[in-house]
Structure 1
Amino acid sequence: MHLAREVLKLRSVVPRPIVRVQNLRNFNTTSQIHAGSKFDTEQIRSRERRGPFTWKAGVLFLVTGSFLAWYFKSEKERMKRKRRGESNKAIGKPRVGGPFKLIDHNGKNVTDEDFLGRHMLVYFGFSHCPDICPDELDKMALMIDTINKKTQKMTPIFITCDPARDNPKQLKNYLKEFHEGIIGLTGDWENIRSVCKAYRVYFSTPPDAKPGDDYLVDHSIFFYLMGIS
């Protein structure tokens, strides 16, 4: 009897439920792994069927492309209108000329305001010019006589590029050989440089030139027809 009781005690402490729990856990974990693998495989297959280009990406691409096309077209039209406006502003308005303060061939101080309301034919040169300036002044004299006979009076103006040697007396004696109506203008080197810049005339007279120096002057050769201001 005593031995039977001991056997019953030993059998009661055998940990059989632990083995069952362990088996259950192993079974559940394996099931989850298989279920997860199956789910991942389905996702991959679904993505492969759809491809990398979805309908959302397509809509975004079309919207972005349409906006960029509209933007560039609008900018192109705006630049065309801007260039057209700038071109219209420039029509009939000279880009040369400006205010000046000089001395005429009679020794009188004159400014650009003294010629307001007149058409002017302006030429830049110098009295010691060997050939070009005389030829151009002959043309100026012919133009003035022709124009003044047919239309309103035009004022011919000769502005020297050699202020060191072309004083008022020198200009007066020089210009009367071509036409009595030509007005000669001179001044100091800075004033001549300023008016040449306003008319976009190049000249090479050195700023420290003296009246007795011997040198030639290089300059632009243009006639400027200036309208009534």
Structure 2
Amino acid sequence: MLRTIRAVSLLLVLLLGGVWAHAWMTRAPGEGLAEAFAGRIGRLFGAEMPVPSAGGGVQLAQGVSLGGPFSLTDHTGRAVTDRDFAGRWMLVYFGFTYCPDVCPTELGTIAAALDAMGPAGESVVPVLITVDPERDTPEMLADYVGRFHPRMVGLTGTPEQVAAVARLYRVYYAKSRKPDTAEYLVDHSGFTYLVGPDGRVRRLFRPDTAPEALAAAVSAQLANRPAATN
């Protein structure tokens, strides 16, 4: 058994080494080695891998689609669906109001980016979708999102509704309970999603993306693909 594991490990190392060498020899002018390597690995396994562009977020892999129809409740208590946002760009973040650090930082980044975009930023709707629907009522969300941006929309729903929209965006989240207490936090993925007028994700932005970089990337997307008019 140990001999088999060693043989498989050796083959894997040789395979990755060969792909790395191929990427080094065949990369295009100006193409980074890491980017070339990721592309060759993606083609080897039948798909393009998402790689970061300079300040432009992460391009979705070919054939991968995120986003889609949903039914939730906004921070005013009104039932909404994806159709209420049709024809508009959105910056969507999945978080929760009890989040101690990451969520406030990323929501602040979104708000700063929209302000930095000037009038163009007014065409983008900032959205927080909670991953803690049991505690994040519309009233809680209304108070919370108003601290970041006057146009920010908070969305909640039943646990089942939230789970359904999280699957559409491939968002991970899970409760993390403190020992010997009923209190808990929610571990969750931290991407910000740029959603196009068709309700589909156009770019992902990693946590700690600078507001200036986010603003530039979103502005470029709006310039290349103007929002549909109603």
Task: Give yes or no for contact 2:115–2:121 (8 Å, CA) kept in 1.
Answer: no
Q: Which amino acid aligns with 2:188?
A: H
Residue 200 (1) aligns with residue 200 (2): no
The change in CA–CA distance for 1:152 and 1:129 in structure 2 (over 3 A counts) is closer
CA apart distance, 1:227? 1.0
Larger RCO, structure (CA 8 Å, separation 6 or more): 2
Q: Bigger shift: 153-162 or 92-101?
A: 92-101
Unpaired stretches in structure 2, ≥5 consecutive residues: 1-42, 48-59, 177-181, 199-230
CA apart distance, 1:228? 1.3
1:66-215 matches, cutoff 5 A: 95-150=65-120, 153-205=123-175, 213-215=182-184
Q: Which has the higher helix share?
A: 1
Deviations 1:65-89 (A, max 9, x none): xxxxxxxxxxxxxxx9xx69xxxxx
What is the TM-score normalised by the length of structure 2? 0.55
CA distance in structure 2 between the partners assigned to 1:133 and 1:99 by the alignment: 24
Task: Give yes or no for contact 1:117–1:228 (8 Å, CA) kept in 2.
Answer: yes
CA distance in structure 1 between the partners assigned to 2:61 and 2:189 by the alignment: 24
What is the TM-score normalised by the length of structure 1? 0.55
The change in CA–CA distance for 1:225 and 1:173 in structure 2 (over 3 A counts) is same
Aligned to 1:59: none
CA apart distance, 1:223? 0.5
Aligned to 2:186: 217
Residue 226 (1) aligns with residue 163 (2): no
CA apart distance, 1:215? 0.5
Unpaired stretches in structure 1, ≥5 consecutive residues: 1-79, 85-89, 207-212
Task: Give yes or no for contact 2:114–2:122 (8 Å, CA) kept in 1.
Answer: no
CA distance in structure 1 between the partners assigned to 2:193 and 2:113 by the alignment: 13
Aligned residues: 138
Q: Which has the higher strand share?
A: 2
Q: Percent identity?
A: 46
Q: Which amino acid aligns with 1:103?
A: T
